[in-house]
Amino acid sequence: MQEFLWDKPVKVGNFGGRERCINGPHEALQCLSEWPEGGGWFYERARNRCYAALEMRGDLALSRQAFVAAAIEASFQCD
């Protein structure tokens, strides 16, 4: 499987007491699946955008933006 990486990783803090560096949509989907309470609208949008990016029918940058929005929605610190 081809690896898709974002131009800039997203650092997510306060995730189980540690910071994680997410490099692309595959890692983002893994991270989203580990969130303690699932999520709301931004969470679902991030999942959809990440799957689309991996299937090469979605924009890679949009998947990153959606993941950042989902992290903010879940009250995670992100950079």
What mean pLDDT is reported for the chain? 90
Higher-confidence residue: 64 or 2? Answer: 64
C-alpha span between 66 and 72 (Å, rounded): 10
Checking if the pLDDT of 47 tops 60, the result is: yes
**Sheet of 18-22, strand order:** 18-22, 10-15, 77-78
pLDDT digit string, tens, across residues 15-27: 667 889 999 999 9
Q: Are 12 and 68 in contact (CB under 8 A)?
A: no
- pTM for the predicted model, two decimal places: 0.91
CA distance 62 to 65: 5
Higher pLDDT, 3 or 28: 28
Tell me how long the chain is: 79
Confidence category of residue 34, pLDDT binned at 50, 70, 90 = confident
Distance in angstroms (rounded) separating the CA atoms of residues 11 and 62: 17
